[in-house]
C-alpha cells in the first residue's frame, strides 16, 4: 500500500500523526493509497517554515516570480499526460476530461506569467504642493488553500498560482480523496524554481482545516467545496481576523425557450448534466423548458441521447462518456436521492440505479438518470445531487422560469437557450447568478476574467482567478510623500529652488 506524504520545505515528508484516509481507485473500488491526516502540530510547523520562507520570496521582484510561473507552465505542458493519468486514477474522470482539468488550471498559471502588470501600483503626481501619492500591492504573508475532490489539478492551481506569484507562501490542503496531483504539482513548482518552503502541502481532514483557521500566522483562506463547509470556514476564518473567500455548491438551471434550437439544447444538456458524472460545480442539474410543448419536445430529444451515454473506467479510452463517482458513499447517496424523487412523485424517465459494469462490479458507477415533472418542493430539486442526474422542471412562462432560477438558494452558474436577443439580454441582466451562459451550457469564464457564484455558492467578496485573485492575495498600501526641499513656506511650490 502506498503511503502518501506531505510536501514540506521542498521534500516529501511522512506524517507522524498515525491517522490515514483511504484513497480509492473509484473504477475498481480498490484502495490504492493512504493519505496522511496530519496533526495540528504538523500544520503549525509547516506554517512556521512557510513564514520564514516567505520573507525572501516576498522580496523577490515580481518579474522573477513570474518567471517561475513561466517555467511551471512549460512543465505542466510537458507532463500533461502524466498529470491527467494521476487525476483520472484517483478521481475516475475520463482522460480527455482529466486533461481539461489540468488545462483549465494551466490557463490560470498562464495569466500569472503576466503578474507584474497586475501587481503594479498606482501613482498620483502632485496630489498637493510637492506631494505625490503612490499605492503598492504587497503580499499578505502566509495564505492557505483548501480544495475539493472534483478538480484535483485545476482548483489547486487556481489557488497556488496567483497566491504564489503575488509573493505569498501557501499552505495547500488538497482533498484527502485526491491528494496525489497536488503533490506532483508541488514537485513541478520546485523544478520551476520555487524556493523550498514557499509552498507546503499538508494533507488532512477537519483537524488540519481547523488548525489552519486558528493559526494566527495565516492571513487568508481560499476555500472551494460544499456549501455547509464553505459557510463554516468563512465564519471561523473571518472571526479569527482572516481574509476569506469560500466557494460552495450549486444547483445550476438551464432555461430552454420555445424558440431555442432544441437539438443543440439537448446536446448541451447531456454534456453539461452528465459530463464528469455530474461532479462539477458548474454542471447543469435542472432543465427548465418554457411551455409544455417545449418540455415534451425536449424530453423526446434527451431520452435517446441519455440512453446512448457510455459509462466506464478511464482506461477504456475515448469510448467512455463519463466514469465512476468518487466513493461508495457518494454512489449510495445519489441512488438514495433518486429513490426520494420517485417517492415524491417525479417521473423517472431513465433510471441509473443499480448500474453494474462487467469486470468492475466493485466500482462506484452510477448510470445516467433523467427525471421529468420535478417540482421545487422535492428533495431532488432542493439538494445538490452531484451525480449523473438531470431533472426537468416545467415552467409555463419565461417569467416563471426566471423566478424559479432566482428563488433557488444557489447562484453559481446558469444558462439560457434561445434565438431571441432581447430575452437573452433580459435574462443576463436580471438573473441573480454569478456566471451566465447564453446558448452556452457551462459558462466558466476564461482565466483573465474571474470565476465566482452568488448567493449560497460563495461567501466573502472577490472571485477566483483573474484580476480579483490579485486583489485577494495582496493588500494595498498607499504612501503620501512630500519632500520639503522643493517647497517654500506656506506650501507653494518654489520653482526657483529647482534651478
Kindly write out the interface string for residues 409-448 of this chain, putting x where it contacts ligand NAD by CB under 6 A and - elsewhere.
---x------------------------------------
Interacting residue with ligand NAD among 17, 25, 28, 175 (CB under 6 A): 175
CB 390 within 8 A of CB 369: yes
- Is 222 a binding residue for ligand NAD by CB under 6 A? The answer is no
- Is 225 a binding residue for ligand NAD by CB under 6 A? The answer is yes
> How far apart (Å, rounded) are the C-alpha atoms in residues 195 and 212?
22
Nearer to ligand NAD, 141 or 148 (CB): 148
Interacting residue with ligand NAD among 86, 119, 146, 297 (CB under 6 A): 146
Nearer to ligand NAD, 199 or 281 (CB): 281
Residue with cell 473504477: 27
> How far apart (Å, rounded) are the C-alpha atoms in residues 110 and 105?
9
Residue number of the CB closest to ligand NAD reads: 225
- Binders of ligand NAD among residues 386 to 415 (CB under 6 A) are 386, 412
- Is 156 a binding residue for ligand NAD by CB under 6 A? The answer is no
Nearer to ligand NAD, 147 or 392 (CB): 147
Nearer to ligand NAD, 250 or 370 (CB): 250
Q: How far is CA 59 from CA 30, 41, 42, 54, 137, in A?
A: 46, 28, 26, 8, 12
Catalytic residue among 281, 311, 348, 401: 281
Residues 6+ apart with CB under 8 A from 336: none
- Is 240 a binding residue for ligand NAD by CB under 6 A? The answer is no
- Helix H or strand E segment including 379: helix 379-382
Interacting residue with ligand NAD among 206, 293, 308, 403 (CB under 6 A): 206
Nearer to ligand NAD, 190 or 227 (CB): 227
- Is 247 a binding residue for ligand NAD by CB under 6 A? The answer is yes
> How far apart (Å, rounded) are the C-alpha atoms in residues 414 and 412?
7
281 is catalytic: yes
In whole angstroms, how close is the CB of 258 to ligand NAD at the nearest point? 30
Per-residue DSSP letter, 409: S
Interacting residue with ligand NAD among 32, 60, 103, 226 (CB under 6 A): 226
> How far apart (Å, rounded) are the C-alpha atoms in residues 410 and 179?
28
Kindly write out the interface string for residues 258-297 of this chain, putting x where it contacts ligand NAD by CB under 6 A and - elsewhere.
-----------------------x----------------
> How far apart (Å, rounded) are the C-alpha atoms in residues 337 and 385?
7
> How far apart (Å, rounded) are the C-alpha atoms in residues 50 and 68?
18
How many Cβ atoms sit within 10 Å of the Cβ of residue 485?
Answer: 8
The secondary structure of 145-207, three-state, reads EECCCCCCCHHHHHHHHHHHHCCCEEEEECCCCCCHHHHHHHHHHHHCCCCCCCEEECCCCHH
Which residues have a catalytic role annotated?
Answer: 281
Residues that bind ligand NAD (CB under 6 A): 146-151, 173, 175-176, 205-206, 209, 224-226, 229, 247-250, 281, 384, 386, 412, 453, 457
Amino acid at each position: 500500500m502506498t503511503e502518501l506524504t506531505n510536501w514540506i520545505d521542498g521534500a516529501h515528508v511522512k506524517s507522524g500523526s498515525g491517522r490515514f484516509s483511504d484513497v480509492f481507485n473509484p473504477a475498481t473500488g480498490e484502495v490504492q493509497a493512504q493519505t496522511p491526516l496530519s496533526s495540528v502540530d504538523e500544520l503549525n510547523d509547516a506554517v512556521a517554515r512557510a513564514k520564514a520562507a516567505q520573507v525572501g520570496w516576498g522580496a523577490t521582484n515580481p518579474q522573477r516570480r513570474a518567471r517561475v510561473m513561466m517555467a511551471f507552465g512549460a512543465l505542466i505542458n510537458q507532463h500533461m499526460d502524466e498529470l491527467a493519468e494521476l487525476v483520472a486514477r484517483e478521481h475516475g474522470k475520463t482522460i480527455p476530461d482529466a486533461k481539461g482539468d489540468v488545462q483549465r488550471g494551466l490557463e490560470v498559471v498562464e495569466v500569472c506569467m503576466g503578474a507584474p502588470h497586475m501587481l503594479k501600483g498606482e501613482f498620483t503626481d502632485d496630489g498637493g504642493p510637492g506631494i505625490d501619492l503612490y499605492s503598492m500591492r504587497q503580499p499578505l504573508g502566509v495564505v492557505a488553500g483548501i480544495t475539493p475532490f472534483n478538480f484535483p489539478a485545476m482548483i489547486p492551481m487556481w489557488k497556488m498560482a496567483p497566491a504564489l506569484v503575488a509573493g505569498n507562501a501557501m499552505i495547500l490542503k488538497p482533498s484527502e480523496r485526491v491528494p496525489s496531483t497536488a503533490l506532483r504539482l508541488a514537485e513541478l513548482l520546485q523544478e520551476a524554481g520555487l524556493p523550498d518552503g514557499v509552498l507546503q502541502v499538508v494533507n488532512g481532514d477537519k483537524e488540519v482545516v481547523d488548525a489552519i483557521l486558528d493559526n494566527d500566522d495565516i492571513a487568508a483562506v481560499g476555500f472551494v467545496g460544499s456549501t455547509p463547509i464553505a459557510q463554516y470556514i468563512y465564519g471561523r476564518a473571518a472571526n479569527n481576523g482572516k481574509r476569506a473567500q469560500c466557494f460552495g455548491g450549486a444547483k445550476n438551471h438551464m432555461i430552454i425557450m420555445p424558440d431555442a434550437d432544441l437539438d443543440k439544447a439537448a446536446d448541451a444538456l447531456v454534456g453539461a448534466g452528465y459530463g464528469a458524472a455530474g461532479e462539477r460545480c458548474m454542471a447543469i442539474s435542472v432543465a427548465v423548458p418554457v411551455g409544455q410543448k417545449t418540455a415534451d419536445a425536449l424530453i423526446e430529444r434527451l431520452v435517446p441521447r441519455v440512453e446512448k451515454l457510455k459509462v466506464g473506467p478511464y482506461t477504456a479510452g475515448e469510448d467512455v462518456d463519463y466514469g465512476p463517482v468518487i466513493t461508495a458513499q457518494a454512489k449510495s447517496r445519489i441512488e438514495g436521492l433518486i429513490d426520494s424523487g420517485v417517492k415524491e412523485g417525479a417521473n423517472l424517465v431513465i433510471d441509473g440505479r443499480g448500474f453494474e459494469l462487467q469486470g468492475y462490479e466493485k466500482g462506484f458507477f452510477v448510470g445516467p438518470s433523467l427525471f421529468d415533472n420535478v417540482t421545487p418542493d422535492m428533495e431532488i430539486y432542493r439538494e445538490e445531487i452531484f451525480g449523473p442526474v438531470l431533472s426537468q422542471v416545467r415552467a409555463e412562462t419565461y417569467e416563471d422560469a426566471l423566478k424559479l432560477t432566482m428563488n433557488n438558494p444557489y447562484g453559481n452558474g446558469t444558462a439560457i437557450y434561445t434565438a431571441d436577443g432581447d430575452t437573452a439580454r433580459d435574462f443576463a441582466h436580471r438573473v441573480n447568478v454569478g456566471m451566465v451562459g447564453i446558448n452556452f451550457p457551462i459558462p466558466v469564464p476564461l482565466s483573465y476574467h474571474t470565476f465566482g457564484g452568488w448567493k449560497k455558492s460563495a461567501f466573502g467578496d472577490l472571485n477566483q482567478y483573474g484580476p480579483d485573485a490579485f486583489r485577494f492575495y495582496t493588500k494595498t498600501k498607499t504612501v503620501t510623500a512630500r519632500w520639503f526641499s522643493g517647497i517654500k513656506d506656506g506650501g507653494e511650490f518654489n520653482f526657483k529652488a529647482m534651478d
